[in-house]
């Protein structure tokens, strides 16, 4: 395993070293020590490497991730895994605002709680939260899956498109055009796979599914003032 200590290595040099890894690298395992809440750690990775961050991070950790697996042994600041394309990001602690925002693919696992706007404008990413999520989560979510093993805050799924939302606990309120939907066999199968991949101790049958009522897709004169 390659070890980089941020006590002695700058953030720029750290990310440059990780960016230099290619498809066929034999330096596949990396450990980052003493992150001290630094911003943009392990951003823009594009190689099949495993990166372990031993501590909590600041803004945008693992943003724009492709192929890599990033494990944060702590909590993550706002925008973790923002615009993620593929790969896996695992947070052992909590995540701050807009975790997984605009994510196009890959899997984001949050083993603690997530704050507001989790999965905002998600475009294909899968997000599994072991705990609770805050208000306005999945706002304008387009595609992908958001799985919440705990409770959801206000305005869940406001103005969402075709993303699927699964919540095991209570939902404080649903956002505009978000409704509860039937849980069909294909959804149970999908959910079982996501829970297994995320290491979540929950059963698919315990969840409810939410999605778009599709009433905001076209102009309606009754909504004009």
The pLDDT value recorded for residue 134 is 98
- Which helix (H) or strand (E) is 122 found in, with range? none
If 0-12 CB within 10 Å is exposed, 13-18 middle and 19+ buried, where does residue 40 land? buried
The pLDDT value recorded for residue 223 is 65
The pLDDT value recorded for residue 53 is 98
Which residue, among 70, 73, 219, 74, has the nearest Cα to 100 in the 3D structure? 70
Which residue, among 101, 127, 130, 95, has the nearest Cα to 114 in the 3D structure? 95
Which residue, among 69, 68, 86, 81, has the nearest Cα to 118 in the 3D structure? 81
Alpha-carbon distance of 204 to 89, in angstroms, equals 22
- pLDDT, tens digit, for every residue of 66-89? 999 999 999 999 999 999 999 999
The pLDDT value recorded for residue 222 is 72
Q: What residue spans define the domains of the chain?
A: 2-217
- pLDDT, tens digit, for every residue of 15-50? 999 999 977 777 899 999 999 999 999 999 999 999
Which segments of the chain have a pLDDT < 50? none
Alpha-carbon distance of 87 to 97, in angstroms, equals 21
Q: Tokens 């440059």 identify what position?
A: 16
Alpha-carbon distance of 126 to 163, in angstroms, equals 10
The pLDDT value recorded for residue 22 is 78
| The model scores a pTM over 0.75 | yes
Distances (CA, A) of 81 to 9, 97, 158, 178, 218: 23, 11, 21, 25, 32
Inter-residue contact 123 to 138 (CB < 8 Å): no
The pLDDT value recorded for residue 138 is 98
In CATH terms, 2-217 corresponds, of 3.40.50.10420, 2.10.109.10, 3.40.50.1970, 2.160.20.60, to 2.160.20.60
Average pLDDT of the residues of the chain: 96
**Nearest 5°: phi and psi at 69?**
-110, 120
């Amino acid at each position: 395993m390659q070890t980089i200590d941020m006590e002695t290595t700058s953030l720029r040099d750290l990310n440059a070293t990780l960016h230099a890894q290619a498809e066929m690298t034999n330096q596949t395992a990396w450990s980052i020590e003493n992150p001290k809440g630094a911003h943009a750690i392990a951003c823009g990775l594009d190689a099949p490497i495993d990166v372990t961050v031993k501590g909590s991070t600041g803004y945008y950790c693992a943003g724009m991730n492709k192929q890599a697996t990033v494990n944060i042994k702590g909590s993550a600041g706002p925008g973790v895994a923002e615009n993620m394309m593929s790969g896996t990001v695992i947070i052992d602690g909590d995540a701050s605002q807009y975790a997984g925002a605009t994510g196009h693919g890959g899997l984001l696992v949050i083993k603690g709680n997530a704050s507001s706007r989790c999965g905002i404008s998600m475009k294909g990413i899968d997000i599994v939260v072991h705990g609770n999520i805050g208000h306005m989560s999945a706002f304008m979510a387009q595609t992908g899956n958001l799985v919440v093993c705990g409770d959801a805050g206000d305005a869940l799924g406001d103005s969402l498109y075709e993303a699927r939302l699964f919540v095991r606990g209570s939902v404080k309120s649903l956002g505009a055009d978000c409704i509860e939907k039937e849980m069909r066999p294909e959804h149970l199968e999908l959910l079982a796979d996501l829970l297994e991949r995320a290491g979540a101790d929950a059963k698919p049958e315990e969840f409810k599914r939410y999605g778009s009522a599709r009433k905001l897709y076209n102009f309606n004169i009754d909504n004009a003032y």
